[in-house]
Amino acid sequence: MRTSMFKKILQSSLSLLVLFALTGCQYEIDSKSELQKIKDRGVLRVGTLNNQLSYYIGPDGPTGLEYDLAVEFAKELGVKLEIKPAYRLSELFPALKNGEIDIIAAGLTQAPNRIKAFRPGPAYYYVSQQVVYKKGTWRPRNLQQLIDSGEMLTVVKGSHFEHTLADLSKTHTKIKYETTDRYDINELLKQVSEGKRLFTVADSIELSLTQRIYPDLALAFELTEDQPTSWYLRQTSDESLYALVIEFFGNIQQNGELHLLEEKYLGHIQDFDYVDTRAFVRSLDSKLPKWEQLFKKHSEEFDWRLVAALAYQESHWNPYAKSPTGVRGMMMLTLPTAESVGVTNRLDPEQSIRGGVAYLRKIVKRIPDTITEHEKIWFALASYNVGYGHVMDARRIAKAQGANPNLWSDVKERLPLLRKKGYYEYTRYGYARGDEALNYVENIRRYYQSIIGHIDKRDHKQTQTSTEGLKVIQAVNTPESSANQTDSSQTSTP
């Protein structure tokens, strides 16, 4: 009896010891900071949206504003980066809450509903919420006009647009809106462009980027003032990761890296030419397919879509284009330039593209190494248009005015000064139509963005079609399908 009781006490004691040990281990694990857990794991997990601003796969691999920022932050931590892209915003916050990702980096605004549940990082740019309509249809000028019309707004379910409208409905009780979780904002914008919906709401940057693909989209009116965008972290008492995010954004703001990235991805979106963009979008279907393979064949180290954008700016993809000044062909080469790159027939589209790329390569090699690699191309394109010497003059003006001669955003503002006597008479190469060079580069950047969006849309559609076709084939080949076909044929037999 005593032996049995002793065994029970011993077993209970051992169980308690095991429990204490496990509890102690758990306490030790839980006591680690968020930052330490990431470093122990060796991987920073970042959730983002798969779109043309945040993250997408380019010809040279992953790219996008949020991707570039995340790469730099992972380097700061000394860990690898693992991007977890989502197609819908509704997928990101649950993943953050459940600990599947460490940070959301997707250009999201600091909406009140988000701030309550999650912790926003520092603001790094601002956007407003805008009501979007299709050109040529009725445009409401303000919220009251929209309400009086009785028309419906459609927004993404769970988005900050929905919460904005919910707040507005407290004071504007007759506002009509619906939410959907079937479509993301890009799909809703496309539907408005196609006339399938009258209105939706988008961020100002989303609208500017999407107009390069759907030029019929237009701003009806501003729904909100400018709102800050930021990364998001879990709402915990642990400050370790949050503190480093604040420090990181402070550093890249101070050293100019943030400005460089914003110029890279957003510097070309301010101006929008509806007529030109509409004509260009039509050419993407009617002309680009004919020349796409040649661009791919000869672009080599350059993104073929950028070379295609350059060619459109030069000739609108007309291989027989001519100008009174003596430039010819798809890439509009001068005779001396053509000879320098081995082009014997400037009206031969293949020779012209190959020669244009070779000439661009020569210019890029001349661009000073003090300029970052991803900005060299903009200086080179300006040189392609106005001449290398004039671009260097604009850099000297920038330096004389206390600006940074190695930043495209600073130099492009000085290019128009090359037209003014008070400036060009003191430069090395004199007068130049610098304002045209500025527009030239910014147009190419906009065309480039449109081609990226168009190709992605086309490839996605082809993938969907292939997948649906495969499903049909699989369905036809299943035993159940065969049996159904047999039953059907027997029923139709007299």
Active site residues: 314
Helices 240-254/65-77 angle, 10° precision? 120
Cite the DSSP H helix spans in 105-222: 112-117, 143-149, 160-171, 185-193, 204-210
Q: Is the CA virtual torsion 384, 389, 392, 394 positive or negative?
A: negative
192 close to 199: Cβ distance less than 8 angstroms: yes
CA distance 448 to 444: 6
CA distance 315 to 323: 10
Which backbone phi and psi does 51 adopt, to 5 degrees?
Answer: -150, 180
CB hemisphere CA count around 150 (13 angstroms): 0
Structure tokens at 317: 């993809």
Q: Which amino acid is at 431?
A: Y
Q: Is the CA virtual torsion 293, 212, 88, 154 positive or negative?
A: negative
Helix (H/G/I), strand (E/B), else coil: 440? helix
Q: What radius of gyration do the chain's Cα atoms show?
A: 29
Residues 6+ apart with CB under 8 A from 211: 217, 218, 272, 277
